[in-house]
Structure 1
């Protein structure tokens, strides 16, 4: 989400799904059960808009470079059908004719701001004329005779007839940017919404002005989106004044006002009327299901990450598993696997910057370290950040590891800090190596720290201090991640030379085996609860599941997150793996050995 920029939501013509874009991803969600979702991640650049074809078989999505990809919705692979470059700049909106044969694409451009073409050949069927600046929105009349309407940064609404589409007339009643234009489903009228807070209705066939909703102004802030009811009698509008309004199209009067909050993040930048569902999108990224019977409280709010996810961990209490994920903006989200709706709960903003690592300790506290140079201890009972349970560090922490007895090992850029019961008790500094990552043995007696020189140093945990054992273990390159098995029998070490090395703790840390398979640096390792398997992820976008007893037995998950590497791994149980990535998605995998 971007302040002051409308968010276009697309609706499935069958009424089952809706779709939107986030980063390089197109997200398709089931409208009745939003926990059921699918993603399309084939755009190499940021995607700005996606729309279903009226047939329901294809989706067209456009990105910041002006590229349009038309892809299949019926197959899991979402095979690409066609790819075009109709404009040379960011795509702002897409529209289809009702026969799914013609498309209009508008946005920013150099030579032109819009194009209308046949979907299967890309050949032009007219032009989007009448504008001198970028076009923000476009729509095509859903019945013959076809009409095309567009609105842009020049405050103009342009009306064209076709096909082939030719510019007919303009309307200049808006005093500021026109953010959204939409035809009613029956094609009799179209609505235009502007940054001036005005919504105007026009005749769908002639382009003549019919009325202004709500008198002079519909909203006290800019209007970013409008969406019609399926029967064309009503429409909803989303505004920067933090409200969504439901309008009667024939009288031009407001029926219901949905108040979404007082914070700047409650500005409403998009909306969609799909079957019986009224949906709006806040600047915060929250998707709100509006309740006509209680306009002050949404029926449901779908929350999630809108930024890249850097780390993930899992925890089981009373047999129920919970996934914790943390993103680049410092948000930590909680996803209960027991709840069929997979409701996201937001802890608020405790960390002010990227969270680098999270673990859950024996006291049911989420221990997290971030780029804001803090380690936080958050109770999973209250799910509230505590101002007192924060440890400020003198250097940026990279990794945090825990052991019984309230022991926490924090590896920073040039320090290693030992915490006990949420207090700093010992600091290693002025070391002759650069620490990268660390781990504490489940028994709490030994701490290991991996360095950029490819060596693992062993320290004994003695009360409130770390004693250098004077011993090192060798990896093949700069160490990227380390983890003891849950039973403490093995230590797994990964490095930038693509090697996973397993040491046997009982045999004085003798090398048990080396595992090869990744084509690029390994970034994360996680032990399976059965202690017989472990997973690694690398910059090659691959995830491997390894078998300790036989290095030749492995399961490979290629392209686990398309176009992005897997940043973090965690196990829910012996057959369920969770992965996170820069695509702002958390994925759950069922592993069958």
Structure 2
């Protein structure tokens, strides 16, 4: 019967569109935008797709679009009906570019616009109730549910520096104030506030209703990876890259205890349900148990063979779960300290573990893009939830255990029914942040890549985007032109390196071999070789013509973040999380020098154009210069007040530029080590590059996707390169049916309230 009714509906709708006489098309929604994902996907499959196919048997795509445009112009203003939303959904189904449409003063109900680009669409005075849009968050680093079983609130911490609070998938509140990634979020036991921890080294307490920051806790000297409330809501525990755990009194914001003992970053720390114990874990592969009252360490648990990213207590406080870089989840007895189970199913690092509220299931999220659900009594994986296209950073159960929600590097929040495993909801984010820029040897083109997984080629003189290349399925961390500027290479979270033709934008090759994110790529200036480094601690050398991996160097002990060829192509230098710089001989396959810097992780590295010096930037806020032949330390350039993300020599080798967390670009005299000039930005400057032929430089790092051009002859900003955002030019003046948080998000993505 349902099949018959659906067929009749499809036939009637097609007939109404063909005759341009609307009845059912006006009175019935073809899909329900806010329905559970599996319901809406079925509606698209059973209704929208057959309508499209049937219309295409009689009309061409352009003719259908013209009919829908004509019907749109006949709709009644300010009248409650579904026609406008149906038109939008049909145009999307037809893959029509949505540009310059006028929906002003119309009721636009049930339009599903997540992941859809809208350019110069006029929604002024429209009613957008129950329509769904893309959100502004980037990677989802943390998720937490409201503790009330009757509440549908959950919060996320994002790579766009925000805490966002949702109810049933609709953004209610945006908490803004952090200046870097928000690594952890947690609701207070009294359900009135939420606490967050950030890479900006602060912890903030927010009012759930207003989104206002009530308190800021300062004291950590490194990224804060974890934060949690005690059960009585009076104390916060935090864990940081500075190798400390801190306890904070909420009323006074004072740090009451500092716990030391870990060696390396501490990724996770939480209270036991009775507040008597704190468990912590991190890069030293050890789980530590502390007495909350005394701050004394009383037990250490060994067994993991990689960084431990997450620990969780069972609701009864008797069991611990931990997730690690070694791809396992381990379950521990807190009384004996013994490992009860090793849960193996994931194929990559485990970032997040959590217990269901009834204590029967553990959920784990992994870099392998899946969520695994484990039966604690048997240790068996009872379900694997797929759907993400990036690593899963966080996973959480709702307070009633009915819903499982995960957040990922793919800028999506996915929710599943915990009984049927049906997908209930997808929240789609968008971040335009540019993470990497490179310049060709002529200094007239820039290549860029970032959070939106696109490689772009820009004409510096005109400011236009010449090519946009799609293919990666993860954030792009690094780009590099070959010597003649005809090819650009890109390295990505998706563990691949891709080569692209600059003239056509076509993908030429894909190199696979890394077993983690690819953070850096570089072309040899003399041969058709590519060097790369990444999460798997390796430096790899590739034949750019064949795609063959010629060499794999494994001397680094941690992630390789940066790499560079010497000007003559005979030497490669690499920098790593292991605080070392290694100088490699390309022909002999040997590491000539290992430099132990003692200055924290190495984020950026560069050869001087004359090949005599190497510059490095690191966590300790210093730029260091090294003799490229001997590896000996030459001098340190001091002045930055945060991590240094970028270093580059200007063309004459006598000047150096640098950038970092302190939102500055600095120009240095290499000989004297003096800072000659400081350029100020409003965001941390993630990447910078200098022209080989002029004194122009480019920098990037903000979340609006802009690349800034500077003239270093007179130290001035000369322009911006910026791609179109998903809702560029969309008019939302006096729209109805959106929360204030939704309006803010739309404007960040390009919409105008004018």
TM-score (norm 1): 0.52
Counterparts in 2 of 1:375-454, with a 5 A limit? 375-380=203-208, 382-391=209-218, 393-405=220-232, 406-414=234-242, 415-421=244-250, 422-428=253-259, 432-454=263-285
Deviations 1:181-239, CA, capped at 9 Å, x for gaps: xx6428xxxxxxxxxxxxxxxxxxxxxxxxxxxxxxxxxxxxxxxxx351645899xxx
| 1:570 pairs with 2:396 | yes
Residue of 481, 496, 499 corresponding to 2:325: 496
The match for 1:34 is: 33
TM-fit CA distance, 1:287: 12
| Residue pair 2:34, 2:130 contacting (<8 A) in 1 also | no
2: CA distance, partners of 1:141 / 1:375: 56
Counterparts in 2 of 1:238-253, with a 5 A limit? none
Judged with a 3 Å threshold, the aligned counterparts in structure 2 of structure 1 residues 234 and 589 are, in CA distance, closer, same or farther, namely closer
TM-fit CA distance, 1:536: 0.8
Judged with a 3 Å threshold, the aligned counterparts in structure 2 of structure 1 residues 374 and 271 are, in CA distance, closer, same or farther, namely farther
| Segment drifting more, 475-484 vs 382-391 | 382-391
1: CA distance, partners of 2:341 / 2:183: 29
Aligned residues: 364
Judged with a 3 Å threshold, the aligned counterparts in structure 2 of structure 1 residues 283 and 482 are, in CA distance, closer, same or farther, namely closer
Residue of 268, 287, 291 corresponding to 1:460: 291
| 1:474 pairs with 2:300 | no
Deviations 1:416-437, CA, capped at 9 Å, x for gaps: 2221224322234585444232
Unpaired runs of 5+ residues, structure 2, are: 1-11, 15-28, 39-43, 78-83, 85-97, 421-754
Residue of 317, 320, 323 corresponding to 2:154: 323
Aligned-pair RMSD on alpha carbons?
Answer: 4.5
Residue of 347, 358, 372 corresponding to 1:530: 358
1: CA distance, partners of 2:72 / 2:322: 62
| Residue pair 1:330, 1:353 contacting (<8 A) in 2 also | yes
1: CA distance, partners of 2:166 / 2:343: 32
| 1:185 pairs with 2:67 | yes
| 1:587 pairs with 2:407 | no
Deviations 1:291-343, CA, capped at 9 Å, x for gaps: 88xx3986577566332322211113363232212322123332224xxxx43
1: CA distance, partners of 2:114 / 2:379: 49
The match for 2:726 is: none
| 1:485 pairs with 2:314 | yes
| Residue pair 2:278, 2:291 contacting (<8 A) in 1 also | yes
By relative contact order (CA 8 Å, sep 6+), the higher-ranking structure is 2
Residue of 155, 175, 183 corresponding to 1:356: 183
| Residue pair 1:537, 1:567 contacting (<8 A) in 2 also | yes
1: CA distance, partners of 2:164 / 2:115: 18
1: CA distance, partners of 2:352 / 2:58: 45
2: CA distance, partners of 1:546 / 1:427: 34
TM-fit CA distance, 1:439: 2.1
Q: Describe the SS at the equivalent of 2:213.
A: coil
1: CA distance, partners of 2:264 / 2:370: 30
The match for 2:384 is: 557
| Residue pair 1:532, 1:548 contacting (<8 A) in 2 also | yes
| Residue pair 2:33, 2:112 contacting (<8 A) in 1 also | no
TM-fit CA distance, 1:362: 1.5
| Residue pair 2:289, 2:297 contacting (<8 A) in 1 also | yes
1: CA distance, partners of 2:229 / 2:117: 33
Residue of 491, 509, 512 corresponding to 2:340: 512
The match for 2:135 is: 305
Q: Describe the SS at the equivalent of 2:316.
A: coil
Counterparts in 2 of 1:112-191, with a 5 A limit? 140-142=62-64, 184-185=66-67
Judged with a 3 Å threshold, the aligned counterparts in structure 2 of structure 1 residues 328 and 231 are, in CA distance, closer, same or farther, namely closer
1: CA distance, partners of 2:113 / 2:49: 25
TM-fit CA distance, 1:378: 1.5
Unpaired runs of 5+ residues, structure 1, are: 1-12, 16-29, 40-51, 60-72, 75-95, 104-139, 143-182, 187-227, 237-245, 247-267
| Segment drifting more, 543-552 vs 431-440 | 431-440
Greater helix share, structure number: 2
TM-fit CA distance, 1:512: 1.8
Judged with a 3 Å threshold, the aligned counterparts in structure 2 of structure 1 residues 575 and 283 are, in CA distance, closer, same or farther, namely closer
| Residue pair 2:163, 2:196 contacting (<8 A) in 1 also | no
| Residue pair 1:280, 1:289 contacting (<8 A) in 2 also | no
Q: Describe the SS at the equivalent of 2:292.
A: strand
Q: Describe the SS at the equivalent of 1:277.
A: coil
2: CA distance, partners of 1:56 / 1:302: 17
Counterparts in 2 of 1:43-62, with a 5 A limit? 56-57=48-49
Q: Describe the SS at the equivalent of 2:67.
A: coil
The match for 2:719 is: none
2: CA distance, partners of 1:345 / 1:289: 24
Greater strand share, structure number: 1
The match for 2:198 is: 370
